[in-house]
Chain A
């Protein structure tokens, strides 16, 4: 049909060549997708998208001790580790009564089938020894993967016998880190406001305890009203507000030494300052007339810089973990909502748009979420939202939930809940997913918790 041998056809074929060259750019894209190299000869990859998230069954036989006293100490340490792991909700320690094998030698490779038979996925063995002479306690542990049959982690600690509880928390942190891939938070402390007495004559004292509620110590005597303690994110240092006879004063307290330093008198302050991540500045809000603005203060020079200057109430500022931004609450849009602005001040961006009012934003140490309290329809809810305005969700809701504070790994929140009536507030922890809500034991009513950074890293 085509006169391919004719000269006109030859000329046309040259044009066709040009046309083809012109179209080749578009054609390349198609060829890259559909006409590329032959597909792999291997079978297609099977994708598993749905897992079964549940606590990891873990076996924790009592740590061995050379003497009856050390055996008792070993049993106590195992119980502390077990309680830590159980409370976090990611582990399910197996009842020791179910154990088939009795561990007698922590140096030997475990007999895996005996532990698989009781559905254990991990096994922790350990022992205590006394060092000759000074009587210091040497603790060692090993973590085994029972399913794969391999050694996962192990460490040895030498300390005074009185520190056995901290060693147990550190071991729990190491187990947590190795099995979940996240840093632990068990070797931390909580500062909170201890409340005693009837509701109209409450005595409020600042208190500190381990994150599991053990070892409560009081930091103030109760003559002055203390409010909103804030931990530095990078040191065992604390800022809190105290109402004495005059204006509220802001104190800086070193937890280890109980050394106190007054930062200044701040009339019209309603929340304690929060530290910058580098621990050199604090950010706070000060009431001036009918409105409130945000200021940053250098802790060395005590120089104060104003960051906002609006007719609205800007308050409750908090630094991002990188220190480059500040989140705060403001009613500049009509109702109390959460805003983000650069740490040096400047235009603020609103991130919450829900019903009710949002307050007390706290940036997660991991940076991925901002926790808040939402008040609406007579309910106080604790929720989280990502700094890019997405992923808002309510974690817990009720009559009165307030004062969220983050665990140093950013996956657990602590807050206080007041059921109303003649009762008083209590502390609770909840996973950032909203699961695994647990009450934290305190000697009496407790409010305004502040979670410390990890003791081992500071």
Chain B
């Protein structure tokens, strides 16, 4: 009887422990944390839209380029508004910060993006600014190129001296209208972690001359402009027509020539192609020579748009004859 009681007790204890494990959430399904998929820039333009675009309109509003995402000021500003200072600590400047801007501008308050903000770029909607100061976005627009970036999560911490404020979503169609920043910080106990986690914020924030919270297409990791699929296709086709690899050479189906080419804005080579493999035998040397000849012969690469020079000024290439000669 005593044995039976022990077995029963142990059995029940095991069941209870198992139930407790389940209740603790150990075996609960957890959401799979997947990084956001890299988006591919695609423009769909109908023939009508294209002709209208090219025809133009006299009364059309001024087209502006999308602003790059800038989450904090890159350099230490000479003047800091003490009223907006949250933490009295020296500013931690990112190692990626650009040189300080020449004009000593007043401190620009970083605007927090509303939680409901959409991901699509809204170039005409201005950001929060100080009403009586020069428009920093207008200055940024003069020299900023369109860049891909991801909308920053709401929980992402802010710069040390940046003041957390609430932004009213701008709904008016007038493009230049801006909303004044609220002068006083609003303490929010639920966001205290954001204030404490400064170092991570310094590393992850995009810096620039002017804060711009308008997100553009892309992800946080999308930090370089990329060639579109049609540009890659056109480039690949053109280089393929010039590439005359020596067929039938020993190991010709296994030698892959890796190189990087650098182009000038006029779409010609800025320097000889930089081959990244060693010519260990005559066969490899012949494959390298054929690839280099193709790149030299095929220039200029007219398929690249001059506006997107950053995307194609440096192109890594892989000449892979496996599909041609394999089997």
Contacts and interface: CB of A to CB of B under 8 A. Distances in A.
Interface of A: 2, 8-9, 12, 15-16, 19, 34, 38-39, 41-54, 56, 90, 121, 145, 147-148, 152, 177-182, 366, 390-391, 411, 431-433
B317 interface: yes
B25 A44 contact: no
Nearest 9 A/B pairs, CB to CB: A181-B286, A181-B283, A51-B243, A180-B246, A181-B249, A45-B316, A47-B318, A147-B293, A182-B249
Contacts of B227: 43, 46
Given A53-B324, A181-B281, A181-B282, A90 B246 contact: yes
24 contacts: A12-B20, A43-B226, A43-B311, A46-B235, A46-B236, A47-B236, A47-B317, A47-B320, A48-B239, A49-B321, A50-B236, A51-B294, A90-B248, A147-B293, A147-B296, A179-B289, A181-B249, A181-B282, A181-B284, A181-B287, A182-B246, A366-B250, A411-B248, A431-B248
A111 B66 CA distance: 49
B309 interface: no
Interface of B: 20-21, 24-26, 35, 221, 223-224, 226-227, 232, 235-236, 239-250, 252, 258, 272, 281-287, 289-294, 296-297, 311, 314-324, 327
B286 A54 contact: no
Nearest to A391: B327
Contacts of A411: 248
Contacts of B323: 49-50
Contacts of B239: 48
B249 A52 contact: no
B250 A49 contact: no
A47 B291 CA distance: 12
A34 B34 CA distance: 9
Nearest to A54: B244
Contacts of B281: 181
B223 A2 contact: no
Contacts of A15: 21, 26
Nearest to A145: B289
A2 B24 contact: yes
A318 to B, nearest CB: 21
Contacts of B284: 181
B153 to A, nearest CB: 18
Contacts of A431: 248
B240 A46 contact: no
B247 A433 contact: yes
A46 B252 contact: no
A259 B250 CA distance: 36
Contacts of B246: 90, 179-182
Nearest to A435: B247
A391 B326 CA distance: 10
Given A12-B26, A147-B296, A182 B248 contact: yes
A47 B317 CA distance: 6
B243 A48 contact: yes
Contacts of A432: 248
A45 B311 contact: no
Given A2-B25, A42-B316, A48-B240, 20 more contacts: A8-B20, A38-B221, A43-B224, A45-B317, A46-B235, A48-B291, A51-B245, A51-B294, A51-B324, A54-B244, A147-B293, A148-B272, A152-B289, A178-B286, A179-B289, A181-B281, A181-B284, A182-B246, A182-B283, A366-B250
